[in-house]
Chains A and B, each alone.
Chain A
């Protein structure tokens, strides 16, 4: 790691002020991506601002029929929360499947969505569960938050404070994971809200996207068979040593069917 100055603010206002003082400052959540990146010297921030001591970024609350989850809530806390398990069990399942036990004990919701890794699990839930991302400045619709590979709608110096997920009637997340990293080669989050169905796909493309043909088919008939013959185009999908773009396109349908079956 290159050298940096470490800060540990205890209020959001202090963190924002520190972040504003240097263009090269970075926020530190659980650090499960950022620290490995620093260790490989792939980034060289001047300052690291640890958000771990800021009470207003933590906690899970039931809110307007959904869940508001603080940005510095760790994956293990979401996975083990009785409240999440009762209101949106699919979200607890998703959190339980991130990385491994030790990563879940450190990694945070805010860190995951702000990093916007194309293979991260949480972005699919943000889009499928019609979430709202709250920052220290404004509210951003989940649909507008992810703008590209490792890119979000956040402005320089903006800090995510919480994410509000809407409670679906039915939902499930299914992923085909990389056996080494546990990242999603393809992950599909399916959620049904009355007559509306959302199908959000992570891992397959540069950023999370909705499979709208599948949504239309499932709105008419919420069963795995409704997805027979429906495929996303492989153009522009990710390809690497683990899976080609065509294979990922195929997996999207398979995972969507599994998610619908699991949602019941």
Chain B
């Protein structure tokens, strides 16, 4: 049976009639056409689909759109400023090359921002543990961890530290 689901996505109110079994990630990608959020494993393990629901990082393949009715959603598309200035965490991922193919990157960035909100000055170990729910098959995580540490510093008011090489 169709139902109407309404929420705020990246500051914009949206409403669509969808099947009740529609997942949030399907709602974002197929109904709103916002394909920045990726579907990787589709079994709530890889974290490519992480978005923020009322400020908490959540795997959007494991929540119904209907459960997010009335919620504030932030996706990777909602991070940069209107003039295109990247969010400090995005800028840090670029500076430190925290990606190779880029498929996991939207989820990595969304998880990293949530992590830094709880723990503004994470250690390398905190970052590695905090990204448990995100899988990258290219990088070995090394540059991702460097990027998140630099992004955390920048989110606390510093500038994004230049990569060592």
A31 & B62 in contact (Cβ 8 Å cutoff) = yes
B66 & A106 in contact (Cβ 8 Å cutoff) = no
Q: With a CB–CB cut-off of 8 A, which chain A residues contact B42?
A: 39
A6 & B133 in contact (Cβ 8 Å cutoff) = no
- Residues in B lying within 8 Å of A, measured CB to CB: 1, 3, 19-21, 23, 42-45, 47, 50, 56-59, 62-64, 66-67, 69, 111, 114-115, 118, 130, 132-133
Give the Cβ gap from A103 to chain B, nearest Cβ, in Å: 7
Q: Does residue A52 face the partner (Cβ distance < 8 Å to B)? A: yes
Q: With a CB–CB cut-off of 8 A, which chain B residues contact A103?
A: 44, 59, 133
A-B contacts, CB under 8 A, total:
77
- Please give me the residue from chain B that is nearest to A76 by CB atom: B56
- Please give me the residue from chain A that is nearest to B66 by CB atom: A6
Q: Does residue A130 face the partner (Cβ distance < 8 Å to B)? A: no
Give the 5 A-B residue pairs with the shortest CB-CB distance, closest first. Answer: A100-B133, A6-B20, A100-B132, A105-B56, A1-B21
B63 & A3 in contact (Cβ 8 Å cutoff) = no
Q: Does residue A137 face the partner (Cβ distance < 8 Å to B)? A: no
In the complex, A99→B44 CA distance in Å? 10
Q: Does residue A264 face the partner (Cβ distance < 8 Å to B)? A: no
- Please give me the residue from chain A that is nearest to B110 by CB atom: A102
Q: With a CB–CB cut-off of 8 A, which chain A residues contact B118?
A: 80
B19 & A102 in contact (Cβ 8 Å cutoff) = no
Give the Cβ gap from B12 to chain A, nearest Cβ, in Å: 23
Give the Cβ gap from B164 to chain A, nearest Cβ, in Å: 28
Give the Cβ gap from B2 to chain A, nearest Cβ, in Å: 11
Q: Does residue A8 face the partner (Cβ distance < 8 Å to B)? A: yes
B44 & A32 in contact (Cβ 8 Å cutoff) = yes
Number of interface residues of A (CB under 8 A): 29
What 17 additional pairs, Cβ within 8 angstroms, besides A39-B42, A52-B67, A181-B45? A1-B21, A3-B21, A4-B21, A5-B20, A31-B64, A35-B63, A36-B43, A50-B66, A80-B118, A100-B47, A101-B111, A101-B133, A102-B47, A102-B57, A102-B111, A103-B44, A106-B63
B44 & A105 in contact (Cβ 8 Å cutoff) = no
Given contacts A8-B69, A76-B56, A80-B118, contact A106 B62 (CB under 8 A): yes
Instruction: Report whether over half of chain A's contact residues are helix, strand or loop; otherwise say mixed.
Output: mixed
A182 & B132 in contact (Cβ 8 Å cutoff) = yes
A5 & B1 in contact (Cβ 8 Å cutoff) = yes
Q: With a CB–CB cut-off of 8 A, which chain A residues contact B3?
A: 6
In the complex, A32→B43 CA distance in Å? 10
- Please give me the residue from chain A that is nearest to B70 by CB atom: A53
B63 & A31 in contact (Cβ 8 Å cutoff) = yes
Q: With a CB–CB cut-off of 8 A, which chain A residues contact B56?
A: 76, 105
Contact partner of A4 (CB less than 8 A), chosen from B20, B47, B58, B69, is: B20
Chosen A-B contacts, 16 in total, with CB atoms closer than 8 Å, are A3-B19, A4-B20, A5-B1, A6-B64, A8-B69, A31-B62, A32-B62, A76-B56, A100-B47, A100-B133, A101-B114, A101-B130, A102-B47, A102-B133, A103-B44, A105-B114
Q: With a CB–CB cut-off of 8 A, which chain A residues contact B130?
A: 101
Q: With a CB–CB cut-off of 8 A, which chain A residues contact B23?
A: 35
A3 & B44 in contact (Cβ 8 Å cutoff) = no
Q: A82-105: which have CB < 8 Å to B? A: 99-103, 105
Q: With a CB–CB cut-off of 8 A, which chain A residues contact B59?
A: 102-103, 106
Q: Does residue A64 face the partner (Cβ distance < 8 Å to B)? A: no
Q: A1-26: which have CB < 8 Å to B? A: 1-6, 8
